[in-house]
Structure 1
Amino acid sequence: MTPDISGRYRTAAFSASPGPSSLSIRNRRRGPVLVVLSIVVGTLGWSGTVLTLPAAMILPLLWAKSPSRLVAAAVSGGYFLAASRGLPQGVATFYATDLWPGLLLWVMASACFITVHALLWTQHPGKGRLVRYLAAAVLMGVPPFGITGWAHPMTAAGVLFPGWGWCGLVATAASIAMMTSRNWPAAVIAMGGFWLWSAATWTEPSLPDGWKGVDLELGQSLGRESSLEHHRGQIATVRARAAEGSRFIVLPESALGFWTPTVARLWQEGLRGSDITVIAGAAVIEAAGYDNVMVAISADEARVLYRERMPVPVSMWQPWRAWTGQSGGARAHLFANPVVELDGAMIAPLICYEQLILWPALQSMLHFPDIVIATGNGWWTAGTSIVAIQQASAIAWAKLFNRPLVTAFNT
């Protein structure tokens, strides 16, 4: 009997000995798969095609399914780096092959995104996980983290729920919250249904009567060329477009270069005898730095219409200069002038970088604008999808709140 008993003991001891469990093996395999999927989601969602934006809403599911905080960080990083993949190349072009500013901004922005999502991750399912992801979404939507809150899944609201306005935004928030719960299959099916319906019935935002956006292909000379011939050529372009029946002509960011009394008088004189109003990008130089602005010019008036709330960090907005007593760099007006008035219409302006982040568009929509104007100077993004992503984001916000959209970009 003893051998049998000892044999049974030995068998029990062997079966209880430590070793890799099937659960831990599955977890180890799951991590790399989730990271690869996050890269696919980031690439597809932010391809520059507006109808692919809802793919970004898969991120909360991948985050929630992460078996550890480390994997959640890797999933967040894979998504964010894939979504913003064009930035280093674009900034290197902007700085004439100096890759470091672009890499610095890329690393800083991804570090913010990864840190927020990693710290708020939890392995415990339920309401706590749902609330934690919504907290991450809010943090990445408003300053300070929202300053680099690119590729926000909430941008997809305009594709899933066009015309729903704030109700559509709430529905999108509820959908991404459900993606982190046990009910995620129902959320996927529901969002897939709305996505298919939207794609089947999709139309571009309307263009307001009498308005025209002018895209230019002047490369890096736009904003740097200040000759009389250059301005006269721009005025001729405006008059030609106005002859097609438009009264309000929108030109891209930086179209007028430095805004000075001389430039203002030149344009007013060029518009003399017409009822044309030009909205164009310019830079206002001051002792402490400069403002990236939109100006409104007619034969009777020339004024600064809008001062950019959030210029591009690092390349334009350099707050450390003020901290160290230096001057220079673009000023950020964060929550100022979310809407501006022109000829009785309330306008929501979005310049370049503001189209990539959440709060400028939402802050403007709180004031019920009549028109959205989105401009940019994207010559430095050649070979990337950055301008297409900006345009897709502007279209999504205009569609969500059912507002006419005017765009003008330089490439």
Structure 2
Amino acid sequence: MFSLPPLLPPARATVKPLPYTLACVASVASGALVALATWYPGHWQILLLLLPAVWSRVRGHTSAFAIWVGYYLAGARDIPVVCMRFFSGHGELTRPEALALGIAFWIAQACVLATPWAILKPESNSSAARHAMCATIATVLVTVPPLGIIGWLSPAYVASALFPGWKAPGLVLGMTATACAAAVSRARFARRVATLLVILSLLARSVASAPVVPSRWTALDTRLGRLDQSSYASLYARTQQVQAIAQRAFSEGATVVVLPEEIVGLWRPAMGYWWRDDIQAFAAAKRTLIVGMDLTASRAPFRYTDSAVIVGPDHGRLDSRQPVPAALWRPGAAVSAIRGNPTQPYVAVAGKSVAFSVCYEDLLWWPHWRILLQSPDVIVSLSNSWFDSDLALAHIQHQGIAAIARLSGVPLLRAVNR
């Protein structure tokens, strides 16, 4: 006699994976909810402290990874649409190709930025000090290059909500708050430090004041859309539009006018001729124009800088320290923007020291290191949002540079083209 094998596998083999799967789904959802509450449509960056707190409590590297993947996927959810509009708008890819590329970028950036948090996740029985140290190291890794090149949505932004106007010490205290959030449920000492941080935060927020933009300085938002650089006729038409906008602002009493990033496109010899009379008139009237443009750096291979240029009685420029990866910054390609020197000093405009943020830099921390050490008189941000002005990304970008200005206690002047 022999017996037939059982028709069904043991019950434990079918139900055991379910709690694990639910735990991963819950982790992704918790990260996504924090992203939405912290960034657009939410505006509570203090909630970033929930991420290290939850991260320290979950079991296993996979759940730790899932929390941060959910956060970065939800926070950067516009990447597929942005890629579709940008690359198809410039005729480089079809809309389906650009959308597929955007989806790949979207998933890849979330995985890359979540990886340090997964690798550094301590065992559940590890000490509070180890959790605090690992949370601090992970925050630094996703904030500074090389990962910081795509270091948007950094947990370091919590510092601006907790310690406005406290500059570099405020950033250090904000990092300390992140470390405490990861350890507060594990050690009495961490809870004592957290209590001290709460007191310091209340003090910082009570004495903080809204910085004032210098008198007669104005930043102009435009609605000129994407610039067609395929012909001199289209370039001349854009030049006339931009000149009219600047002249109108000066006629209304402004002495310093800021125009958006790349608003006049690539600077050519013909444009120097078209702008010559206006620049001379600005200088004679002591009126300064800050305008975004691209400046040729080399011809073969073609390299250019995404720059903010000052003309009039003052002269100077600042080159973007990190042009948008893949869109503008393409190392090894035939055409690419190049990165400006991160140590570029402030530029003097109308007797004020000015720090600049050029478009993509609004989303990053590390290009602005000098602001937290040597306070300028004003931060000038130039952006060109013709491809994302109706998306959450445009709001998150503004939130990012506004947070840096708030932490540094410096007024922000921002010009955007839509």
TM-score, scaled to structure 2: 0.82
Aligned residue for 1:245?
253
Q: Aligned residue pairs: how many? A: 383
Aligned residue for 1:294?
308
After alignment, is 161-170 or 191-200 more displaced?
191-200
Check whether the contact 2:62–2:118 (CA below 8 A) recurs between aligned residues: yes
1:60 aligns with 2:67: no
**Structure 2 letter corresponding to 1:135:** I
Secondary structure, counterpart of 1:269 in structure 2:
helix
Query: Which ranges in structure 1 are unaligned for 5 or more consecutive residues?
Result: 1-18, 322-326
1:78 aligns with 2:92: no
Secondary structure, counterpart of 1:315 in structure 2:
coil
**Structure 2 letter corresponding to 1:41:** V
Secondary structure, counterpart of 1:278 in structure 2:
strand
Aligned residue for 2:216?
210
Aligned residue for 2:353?
346
Distance 1:353 1:268 in 2: 30
1 or 2 for the larger relative contact order (CA 8 Å, sep ≥6)?
1
Secondary structure, counterpart of 1:155 in structure 2:
helix
After alignment, is 94-103 or 274-283 more displaced?
94-103
| Aligned counterpart for 1:221 among listed residues 227, 251, 254 | 227
Check whether the contact 1:372–1:404 (CA below 8 A) recurs between aligned residues: yes
Alignment of 1:107-256 (within 5 A): 107-123=107-123, 124-183=126-185, 205-221=211-227, 226-256=234-264
After alignment, is 231-240 or 278-287 more displaced?
231-240
| Aligned counterpart for 1:403 among listed residues 405, 410, 414 | 410
Q: CA deviation at 1:87?
A: 1.4
Alignment of 1:308-327 (within 5 A): 308-321=320-333, 327=334
Aligned residue for 1:45?
38
Aligned residue for 1:337?
344
- Once the two structures are aligned, what percentage of the paired residues are identical? 25
Check whether the contact 1:338–1:349 (CA below 8 A) recurs between aligned residues: no
Check whether the contact 2:257–2:290 (CA below 8 A) recurs between aligned residues: yes
Check whether the contact 2:228–2:235 (CA below 8 A) recurs between aligned residues: no
Distance 1:213 1:36 in 2: 39
Distance 1:280 1:69 in 2: 47
Secondary structure, counterpart of 2:337 in structure 1:
coil
Check whether the contact 1:112–1:148 (CA below 8 A) recurs between aligned residues: no
Residues 40-89 of structure 1, C-alpha deviations (whole Å, 9 max, x = no match) = 0012212166x422222311112111211010011110111111111111
Distance 1:81 1:338 in 2: 35
| Aligned counterpart for 1:366 among listed residues 364, 373, 384 | 373
1:103 aligns with 2:111: no
Check whether the contact 1:141–1:359 (CA below 8 A) recurs between aligned residues: yes
Residues 151-171 of structure 1, C-alpha deviations (whole Å, 9 max, x = no match) = 012123222221122222122
Secondary structure, counterpart of 2:410 in structure 1:
coil
Distance 2:228 2:129 in 1: 51
Structure 2 CA distance for partners of 1:41 and 1:206, relative to 1, 3 Å: same
TM-score, scaled to structure 1: 0.84
Distance 2:364 2:164 in 1: 19
**Structure 1 letter corresponding to 2:317:** L
Distance 1:71 1:383 in 2: 33
Check whether the contact 2:388–2:394 (CA below 8 A) recurs between aligned residues: yes
Q: CA deviation at 1:235?
A: 1.6
Check whether the contact 1:90–1:382 (CA below 8 A) recurs between aligned residues: no
Structure 2 CA distance for partners of 1:365 and 1:194, relative to 1, 3 Å: closer
Check whether the contact 2:184–2:194 (CA below 8 A) recurs between aligned residues: no
Distance 2:110 2:345 in 1: 27
Distance 1:84 1:149 in 2: 11
Structure 2 CA distance for partners of 1:338 and 1:29, relative to 1, 3 Å: farther
Moved over 6 A (4+): 24-28, 187-203, 222-225
Structure 2 CA distance for partners of 1:334 and 1:305, relative to 1, 3 Å: closer
